[in-house]
Structures are given as structure tokens and as C-alpha cells.
Amino acid sequence: MMISQFSKATGLSADTIRFYIAKGLLTPQRSGKGGSNPYQLFGPDDVTAARMIRLQQFLGYSLREIAALNEEYLSGAGSDARTAEVLRQQIERLTERRSAIDSALEFLTGKLAWIEAGKPGDAPPLKDYIC
């Protein structure tokens, strides 16, 4: 499929797809058509790869980490022990982020309640919340 069809299949913009290609995260086939700028053709494996990239981003991995993990996977260096290690690290990072988000939500909720109550007394101090 061409980039426009791939964009529809994955929900990614053409610019995002081109960015992923430039970063080496996607490697579409090149056709003989298109002159000096050959068409890029995407297949089902590319759709799966794009969905995995988006999932990994949602899980908090940077594009650099995604590229490194993908390279590790494709080279066959990934073992169950390594996968478990990577997952443990990410769970720890997400847990830390959750704590910060919970603290921020607590502050915002308190601030909203203070405003809706007519701002009685001092505003909830930000220093009381760890972000």
C-alpha cells in the first residue's frame, strides 16, 4: 500500500510516517516507480510495526528507546530475561509517573475546590505536592 493508504490503516499522519521512516523505525519497500523519488510501499508487517511504535510511545518509551529495543529484537539479542528486565524498568518508570500525576491531580482538585468555594483563605500551596 502507498503512504496515503498506510496512513488510513494506521491512523498516523503522512508526516509522522515520514518521520518514523527517517528515524529508521519503519522501513517500507521502494518501488521502481516515482522517478528519482521512488514510491514507498507498506505491507501488513509495517502496519503491525506502526501500531507497536504507538503502543510503546503510549507506554512511555522514547523513540530512541523504541529504536534500540527494535534493533535488539531484530538482531535476536532479546531473551525472555532481557524482555523481563525492560518491562520491569518501564513499570518502575510508569509507577513514578503515576505518583507524580496523582500528586498533580490532588493539587488541581484542591485548587478547583478552593476556587469554587469562593477562595476562602490561602490557595492550596503547590509545595505540598510532589510532582
83 in a structural domain:
no
On whether both 10 and 36 belong to a single domain, the answer is: yes
Cα–Cα nearest to 42, from 10, 19, 75, 74: 10
Predicted confidence (pLDDT) at residue 125 exceeds the cutoff of 90: no
On whether both 63 and 99 belong to a single domain, the answer is: no
- What tens digit of pLDDT does each residue of 81-112 get? 988 999 999 999 999 999 888 988 999 999 99
23 is in which domain, residue-wise?
3-78
Confidence of residue 51 (pLDDT cuts 50, 70, 90): very high
pTM of the full structure: 0.70
| Count of other CB atoms within 10 angstroms of residue 79 | 10
On whether both 116 and 61 belong to a single domain, the answer is: no
85 in a structural domain:
no
- What tens digit of pLDDT does each residue of 109-118 get? 999 999 999 9
Q: State the CATH number of the domain containing residue 19.
A: 1.10.1660.10
